[in-house]
Amino acid sequence: MHTKTIKQLSVLLHTKQISATELANLFLRRMQQSDLNAFTHIDETLTLQQAAAADKRLAQGDATALTGIPIAHKDIFVTRGWRSTAGSKMLANYSSPFDATVVEQFNAAGMVTLGKLNCDEFAMGSSNENSFFGPVKNPWDKSAVPGGSSGGSAAAIAARLAPAATATDTGGSIRQPASFCGVTGIKPTYGRVSRFGMIAFASSLDQGGPIAKTAEDCALLLNEMAGFDPRDSTSVERDSEDFTRDLNGSLQGLKIGVPREYFGPGLASDVEQAVRAALNEYEKLGATLVDISLPKTELSIPVYYVIAPAEASSNLSRFDGVRYGHRASEYTDLSDMYKKTRAEGFGEEVKRRILVGAYVLSHGYYDAYYLQAQKIRRLIAQDFQDAFRQCDVIMGPVAPTVAWDLGDKTDDPVANYLADIFTLSTSLAGLPGMSIPCGFGQGGKNAKRPVGLQIIGNYFNEAKLINVAHQYQSVTDWHLRQPADT
């Protein structure tokens, strides 16, 4: 039962072949037996209460397609009942008095919350090793990172600990862990999903999205996640959509842009081989490959690591020990309390980004760094628009390599930053992007590690991306493969 897709589970629930309570208990047992450290908080009583409510709706015929389906939330979305920590000591015991909009929407649909998922502290990281609660292990090879910051979300789906998970993507944090763990994830267009109740990292970049086994499952989840929210000033007011509507559309005549900058010397040969094989499969489905250029790709790293830390330094200024969260136990005055609270409450990577952000926003450096980065960001977005005049979607690798070993890059933050080279520009432009499994590469001594194919679309073109992904998954089985001990 734990290997079935959301679509399959929905049929079983609606035909009374299994109850929401039975399904919740099944996944709770799997979660409790797991050694991946994917969850930060589980409350069986709350989960079973939601399951009982879902069973009642199913019995009354008042159910949606997602009623009774278990879901786990990245611990960056605030939730009533479950702790909301953002993977940080600063919020280690914080209980939110309200739910994030995304959580509200899934609750209204009748989904059953399994718990909160581990993540890099305040979503800052590419490996999930920055969490106060310890690193998450990759289910395919427990000596490897699962990717970050949504590593707990991707690992939980890959290990079949949950059929659905929420995640967030600031610079690649849905797509990269989905790639490393061999699952499907989509980052919607910026503004498509409400950020209300999502603990902020970089406000002009953060975007919520789903991770699941298949593109079809992601479409079902996005149907509930997407929508205008007046409580979020960055939410885009658009008519609701059915993201499953184009699932079975033909790819005949589809033009796929292949950026030459994504296939340079820094790309590992095993990753390139898997991605090239996927592109060949698309040609068999009737698509045409078009050579394109995204010339500002290399600039996305310095641009992102100016803009994101600048916004983080502002967003995280609220964590001062006065109103909520961690407070130092010993201090001499208010200023000393601020200093000691923040020194104790934040991890090293968060401190590093706050310092960088404060520096680039400071008097004398704002014009030289932050303002210039925003100008280049506009040029990066224009590169994509120029490319979309030649093609319908863009494809390439998600990351230059497969998942690396735990601890390999902990002493080299720049190496971690470079791993985001193929995902950052999409986020800077605010475009939608997906990762779908497309093969395996070499990694570690005894295990192969998944490779993801990145699919990028133009603004609000999520239904097309899901169609393109679904057609590939209809003729391949990479998305159905699972780690040996699941």
Query: Which residues are marked as active site?
Result: 74, 149, 173
In this structure, the chain runs to a length of 486
185-213 as b/e: b if 16+ CB within 10 A:
bbbbbbbbbbbbbbbbbbbbbbbbbbbbb
DSSP H or E run through 74: strand 70-74
Q: Are the C-beta atoms of 221 and 74 separated by less than 8 Å?
A: no
HSE of 155 in the Cβ direction (CA atoms, 13 Å)?
33
56 burial type by CB count under 10 A (0-12 exposed, 13-18 middle, 19+ buried): middle
Whether 283 contacts 289, CB under 8 Å: yes
Across the chain, which distance is largest between two alpha carbons, in Å? 70
The SS3 call for residue 85 is coil
| Residues 467 and 287 sit within 8 Å (Cβ to Cβ) | no
Tokens of 353: 């980004």
Compute CA 482 distance to the chain's CA centroid, rounded to the nearest angstrom. 19
Q: Give the phi and the psi of residue 454 in degrees, each rounded to 5.
A: -95, 135
What angle, rounded to 10 degrees, do the helices at 6-14 and 20-33 form? 140
What distance in Å separates the CA atoms of residue 404 and residue 264, rounded to the nearest whole number?
20
How far apart, in whole angstroms, are the C-alpha atoms of residue 454 and residue 176?
9
